[in-house]
Amino acid sequence: EPVPCDFLMILAGNVEDVEKMHPALRSRIRGYGYEIFTQSAMDDSPVNRMKLVQFIAQEVRRDGKIPHFSRDGVAAILGEACLRAGQPNRLTTCFRELGGLVRIAGDLAVQDDSRLVHADHVTRAQAYALTLEEQHLRQNQTLEALTEARSVSVAKPGVLKQ
């Protein structure tokens, strides 16, 4: 027997996952609600940069264990936000990934007994903030380069010192 109910359901997901959604659920969303596509980048403006600075401070406060960021640490995160946008004069809105970078950089600062998170912590954190696919690719590329270097050293003794 149907049960009456009033509620608001908000779903967030990736575009590539929508096609995997059950057709009946998707039909209900489209028939009784709204589908809203959000952008993955925003304009690079002073106002949006200040919002990202606020986001960094919120992540530090939310974590509770990592130190605050220095000016150069904040600048490094903003630079990464530009790079991750993939477009000129844009900043990424993929905040989950950016927040992960903030936390990793903070953890590295804690390991270094640093009172602040600096740009070098952010730079080092980028190596840890890779997706599993990127880490796998990097590992395979490193192994391929090492194998190639070893084959060169066999052909030319003394080229690769171990």
Residues 96-145: pLDDT tens digits? 999 999 999 999 999 999 999 999 999 999 988 877 787 788 778 776 76
- Can you give the pLDDT at residue 82? 96
- Can you give the pLDDT at residue 56? 98
Q: Report the Cα 28 to chain-centroid distance in Å.
A: 32
| Calpha distance 152→74 (Å, rounded) | 43
The least confident of 52-56, 92-96, 158-162 is 158-162
| Both tokens assigned to 134 | 């990127």
**HSE value, Cβ hemisphere, 13 Å, CA-based, for 154:** 6
pTM score, whole prediction: 0.71
CB of 11 closer than 8 Å to CB of 32: no
- Residue 77, pLDDT above cutoff 80: yes
Q: Report the Cα 83 to chain-centroid distance in Å.
A: 11
The torsion defined by the Cα of 44, 48, 54 and 59, in degrees rounded to 10, comes to -60
CB of 43 closer than 8 Å to CB of 14: no
pLDDT bucket at 150, cuts 50 / 70 / 90: low
- Residue 153, pLDDT above cutoff 70: no
